[in-house]
């Protein structure tokens, strides 16, 4: 089906009334400037007129029929024979600007419908291709529809528009309600000082050798974020949902994880468990313990979550790609790139846990400190990550059985796209699966 053969919905009257309202009442632009873009107009002349009105409004120039005509003449698309008379007609056709928001909604809705027709045509064309992969076509269709809902655009943006958005953001993060616009706190004060919270669209890698506590670290952060009434989704490819909940109860109630597995409780344990359940029962956290899940499947589930604040993937090397490849390195590259794109599209921070190679175990003394090349299949992970955090116990040479109950843990921010590297000191109590920051901190480029 050719989309050109379908009737393109638009409202000539709504487009004319919106433009006329701004001409006769320039301050009314304040009511619709954030809701309407030039591309929403169906007629090219209307797109050009609104673009000129926006340029004049942004630079605080006076707007009327005469000044608008002068601005339009600067455009190579301007036709003097039609433009002059048409501007006067627009100004005369609208008695009041009182209903400008209603005009704007009609113009925007018609644009959405036209875009949906185009998206549907692309989907039909892709689905009709015998070589197409169904999962890929579905994911692409969902993404296009989400882009319509979100009003996102892949078009080029002039720098003045981006600067305006940036200045607006800077004003918000420096205001009295700055906490609403900064990164989401992890709940660990020293880490938040370095990262300034978890920022939207960032992919954060937390890496460690097996048994060091990376899942516990991620779940501690998950609990802290969910308690801020931000929805958290955990994709656990290694542990079951029951195991994760048991760990969360252990952390919250400060009860030995072994007791929660064996049922050997003391007199006051039940009251602490009930208090922990009460604290966790209504937090907005969701767990998916599918053992085999792809990035497109994650994305489809996440799109349905409201007020999404954080995504956790535990862990990276257990994921599978959507394309067949003989190289695990290439498969991991596809996965990490997909996760990064997903974080950006959903505008949410994403923490992905990762294994480190055995090379770090072979090194002794100061050389045992992890480096970026210790990430398994490290090339793509290091490249796509915005932040890389290593968990490194002070007594790394000891086996898990030999380590003390409370472990001195270094939390190393080895890569930080937004700031400096840092070495943070934490205490990790394995029986409670709980991390606690210690105030000592080292930052900068010096060796840790």
Sign of dihedral through CA atoms 288, 294, 300, 302?
positive
Query: In this predicted model, what pLDDT tens digit does every residue of 257-306 receive, in sequence order?
Result: 888 887 777 778 888 888 888 888 888 999 888 877 888 778 878 888 88
Confidence of residue 336 (pLDDT cuts 50, 70, 90): confident
Q: Is the pLDDT of residue 150 over 70?
A: no
Residue 92 has a CB neighbour count (10 Å cut-off) of 12
Q: What is the mean pLDDT of the chain?
A: 81
> How much is the pLDDT for 106?
94
Query: In this predicted model, what pLDDT tens digit does every residue of 83-93 receive, in sequence order?
Result: 778 888 888 88
For range 189-209, the mean pLDDT: 88
Evaluate whether 250 touches 432 at the Cβ level (below 8 Å).
yes
Q: Is the pLDDT of residue 397 over 90?
A: no
> How much is the pLDDT for 221?
93
> How much is the pLDDT for 2?
46
Burial of residue 342, with CB atoms counted within 10 A of its CB: 0-12 exposed, 13-18 middle, 19 or more buried: buried
Region of poorest pLDDT, from 72-81, 242-251, 363-372: 363-372
Q: Is the pLDDT of residue 312 over 90?
A: yes
Q: Is the pLDDT of residue 373 over 90?
A: no
Evaluate whether 288 touches 301 at the Cβ level (below 8 Å).
yes
Please report the DSSP string for 249-318 in residue order: HHHHHT--HHHHHH----TTHHHHHHHHHHHHTTS-EEEE--SS--HHHHHHHHTT-TTEEEEEEE-GGG
> How much is the pLDDT for 224?
92
CA Rg value for the chain: 28
Burial of residue 378, with CB atoms counted within 10 A of its CB: 0-12 exposed, 13-18 middle, 19 or more buried: buried
Query: In this predicted model, what pLDDT tens digit does every residue of 42-87 receive, in sequence order?
Result: 998 899 899 889 888 877 789 988 899 888 888 777 777 667 788 8
Any idea which residues carry the catalytic annotation?
A: 238
Name the residue among 401, 391, 374 with its Cα closest to residue 425.
391
Residue 391, strand partner residues: 411
Q: Which residues are within 8 A (CB) of 308 and not within 5 positions of it... i.e. 6 or more apart?
A: 230, 231, 233, 302, 346, 348
CA-to-CA distance for 446 and 444, rounded, in angstroms? 6
Q: How many angstroms separate the first and last alpha carbons of the chain?
A: 63
Q: The pTM is what?
A: 0.63
| Order of all β-strands in the sheet with 406-416 | 285-288, 231-236, 308-314, 350-355, 203-208, 387-393, 406-416, 422-429, 434-443
């Amino acid at each position: 089906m050719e989309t050109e053969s379908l009737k393109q919905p638009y409202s000539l009257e709504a487009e004319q009334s919106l433009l006329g309202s701004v001409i006769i009442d320039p301050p009314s632009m304040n009511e619709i400037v954030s809701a309407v873009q030039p591309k929403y107009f169906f007629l090219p002349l209307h797109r050009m007129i609104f673009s000129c009105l926006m340029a004049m409004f942004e630079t605080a120039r006076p707007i009327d029929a005469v000044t608008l005509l002068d601005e339009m003449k600067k455009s190579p698309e301007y036709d003097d024979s039609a433009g002059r008379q048409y501007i006067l007609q627009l100004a005369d056709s609208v008695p009041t600007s009182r209903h400008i928001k209603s005009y704007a909604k009609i113009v925007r809705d018609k644009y959405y419908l036209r875009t949906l027709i185009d998206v549907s045509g692309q989907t039909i064309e892709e689905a009709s291709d015998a070589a197409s992969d169904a999962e890929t076509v579905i994911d692409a269709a969902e993404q296009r529809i989400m882009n319509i809902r979100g009003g996102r655009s892949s078009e080029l943006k002039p720098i003045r528009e981006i600067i305006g958005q940036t200045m607006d953001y800077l004003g918000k993060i420096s205001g009295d309600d700055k906490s609403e616009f900064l990164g989401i706190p992890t709940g660990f004060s020293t880490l938040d000082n370095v990262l300034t919270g978890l920022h939207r669209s960032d992919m954060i890698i937390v890496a460690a050798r097996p048994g060091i506590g990376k899942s516990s670290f991620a779940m501690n952060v998950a609990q802290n974020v969910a308690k801020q009434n931000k929805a958290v989704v955990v994709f656990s490819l290694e542990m079951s949902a029951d195991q994760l909940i048991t760990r969360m109860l252990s952390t919250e109630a400060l009860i030995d994880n072994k007791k929660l597995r064996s049922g050997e409780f003391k007199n006051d344990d039940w009251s602490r468990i009930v208090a922990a359940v009460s604290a966790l029962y209504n937090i907005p956290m969701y767990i998916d313990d599918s053992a085999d899940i792809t990035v497109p499947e994650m994305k489809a589930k996440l799109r349905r979550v409201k007020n999404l604040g954080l995504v956790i993937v535990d862990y990276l090397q257990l994921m599978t790609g959507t394309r067949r490849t003989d190289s695990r390195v290439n498969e991991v590259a596809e996965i990490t790139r997909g996760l990064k794109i997903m974080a950006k599209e959903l505008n949410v921070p994403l923490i992905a846990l990762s294994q480190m190679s055995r090379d770090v175990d072979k090194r002794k003394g100061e050389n045992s400190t992890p480096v970026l090349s210790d990430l398994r299949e490290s090339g793509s992970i290091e490249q796509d990550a915005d932040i890389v955090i290593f968990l490194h116990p002070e007594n790394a040479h000891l086996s898990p059985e030999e380590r003390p109950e409370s472990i001195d843990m270094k939390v190393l921010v080895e890569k930080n796209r937004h700031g400096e590297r840092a070495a943070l000191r934490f205490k990790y109590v394995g029986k409670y699966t709980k991390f606690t920051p210690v105030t000592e901190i080292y930052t900068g480029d010096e060796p840790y």
